Structure 1
Amino acid sequence: MTVHPSLQNYADAWAHSIEAIFELVKPLVDSDWNRRTPCPSWSVRDVVSHVIGMESEMLGDPRPIHSLPRDLYHIQSDWARYMELQVDVRRHHTALENVSELEYTIIRRNRQLRNENRSPDTMVPAPLRKQQTLENAMRARAFDVWVHEQDLRYALNRPGNIDSPGSQIVRDVLLAALPKVIAKDAGAPPNSAIVIDVTGPLEFLRTVRVNADGRGTIDGSPSLGPVVTLATDWETYYRLACGRVRPAVVADRVKLDGDEELGAAILREFAVTP
């Protein structure tokens, strides 16, 4: 690949996850495509359709001309409506059609990345007719395909790649959102510190510090007197932060020490994906 060096890790992580997705779904029988995934309201077929659709948009393909049914009650925002269109237009595709389109899309995207010579700050199209930098777009695709790979693995009972290159990008994106979650959304008090201690194949410890103005920052230094310490494993962390599971369902896998009310508020606001 010839992408800018600062984009290479995103390209590599994306390639690793999307090839894993292809290998997961290639042998599936028709009934497997209807299995529910942890991604709210989406089946295996829907997740694969979404991945195909988003990668097609990265290629510059026009969005399908399609009207969504009125009975899709999980569609509650313009963002959800935008994402659902690429899914719904493929809902009646056969397994062979899905696999073939996914394979062809991966081939085209790999070719695009091999020839990619734009700088990271080049502006490219984003969902909802917005613009984003190429770096943000590639980070988002690496994030998205890893999370959806895990959705598929969960639905198909094929665990794996929990610590693959994409997981590190997902970790960094989720951690970048944590100061807002804790300081603004959960309402942590000024001049306080909250420690997040994550174990497992992707292990890390971070401290969110809320200053006197109520603004949060994050660093890797421990705090001697945190108001809350939240400890869990990496799989539970990403599933909570990506809205794949409710806190009550994994209460036995999350340990909270300190201010119980603030800890509950943090968990309530923990999901950061749209």
Structure 2
Amino acid sequence: MTVHSKLQPYIDAWTHSIESINELVSPLPDGAWNHPTDCPYWSVRDVVSHIIGFECELLGDPRPIHTLPSDLRHITTESARYTEVPVDIRRHHTAPEMTSELEYTIIRRSRQLRNESRQPDAEVRSIGGGEIVLEEQLWSRVFDVWVHEQDLRRALDTPGNLASPGAVLARDYLLRSLPKLVAEDAGAKPGSAVVFDVHGPLEFMRTVRVNPEGRGTIDSAVSLGPAVTFVVDWETFLRLLTGRVRPAAVADHVKIEGDRELADAILANIAVTK
């Protein structure tokens, strides 16, 4: 059997993004690995370590046995602690050690994905435990790897791939969060609509509508008289929804029309992932 046709786009996007990361970091000198990123407390090395660690987990490698230092201020939950272990264990690795492990991990994981014969709705183990369907697992890996590719590109001042296959899938992954953000978190009134008009390398417009029962839906149809319209560039939209930047820091990149109180409530809750 071959890879299911529904899964192939996720595998292709993941491959494009992780190989782009490999090309980006392979020539870096030792010092560049310590550059800070938009991920709080994480350097370039830490971001790459995180990617390696999670891909190795999906390969079935045993979790490293490692006790975290007690002075890591950003470790406030068990989830954060789980994520930090494969990062901290590599904090003193050299550039050659990092690049060789990344390359080897890509080879192994690519082989695993090429041989994937399960159906998209097959139940598989989720990172950190629990169950998840295979399609969702692959989609989440595309999202995570591509978003971290962009973290690395900003840290290294090497922009690119903002409209790549991974970018498109990451956009759709984020857009699923907007109905809850608008209707529940920000408390938009039933019957109202909020428009997100995003421009740049990846252009799109989406309208979140709140039905009479207070539930949100999203579509690409134009709304007449929306309660709020946000006009924002794609990279700023990405950074806001992934919690990489606070709204006040990019206020000059976000044009707001309409109900300012509702707009502020949306912006206060806009970091839908961390």
Specify the TM-score bucket, using the shorter chain as the normaliser: over 0.9
CA distance in 2, matches of 1:106, 1:33: 19
> What amino acid sits opposite 1:247 in the alignment?
P
Residues 136-195 of structure 1 show CA distances to partners (whole Å, capped at 9, x for unaligned) of: 110011111100100000000101111110000111011011000111111111111111
Q: Which residue of 2 aligns with 1:138?
A: 138
CA distance in 2, matches of 1:127, 1:69: 23
Trace 1:113-262 onto structure 2 (pairs within 5 A): 113-262=113-262
CA distance in 2, matches of 1:36, 1:125: 32
> What amino acid sits opposite 1:272 in the alignment?
V
Residues 93-126 of structure 1 show CA distances to partners (whole Å, capped at 9, x for unaligned) of: 1111110100000000111111111111112111
Trace 1:75-94 onto structure 2 (pairs within 5 A): 75-94=75-94
SS at match of 2:190: coil
Deviation (angstroms), 1:3: 1.8
Residues 33-91 of structure 1 show CA distances to partners (whole Å, capped at 9, x for unaligned) of: 00001122210000000000011011111111111111111112222111111101111
Q: Say what the alpha-carbon RMSD is for the aligned residues.
A: 1.1
Residues 202-261 of structure 1 show CA distances to partners (whole Å, capped at 9, x for unaligned) of: 111111011122110001111111010011011111111111111111101100101101
Deviation (angstroms), 1:128: 2.8
SS at match of 2:205: strand
Q: Which residue of 2 aligns with 1:55?
A: 55
Query: Normalising by the residue count of structure 1, what TM-score does the alignment of the two structures yield?
Result: 0.98
Q: Which residue of 1 aligns with 2:107?
A: 107
Deviation (angstroms), 1:129: 1.6
SS at match of 2:57: helix
> What amino acid sits opposite 2:184 in the alignment?
K
Q: Which residue of 2 aligns with 1:72?
A: 72
Q: Percent identity?
A: 64
SS at match of 1:209: strand
Moved over 4 A (4+): none
How many residues are aligned here?
274
> What amino acid sits opposite 1:209 in the alignment?
R
Deviation (angstroms), 1:21: 0.4
CA distance in 2, matches of 1:9, 1:268: 34
SS at match of 2:16: helix
| Preserved CA contact (<8 Å) 1:2 1:113 | no
> Any stretches of 5+ residues in structure 1 without a counterpart?
none
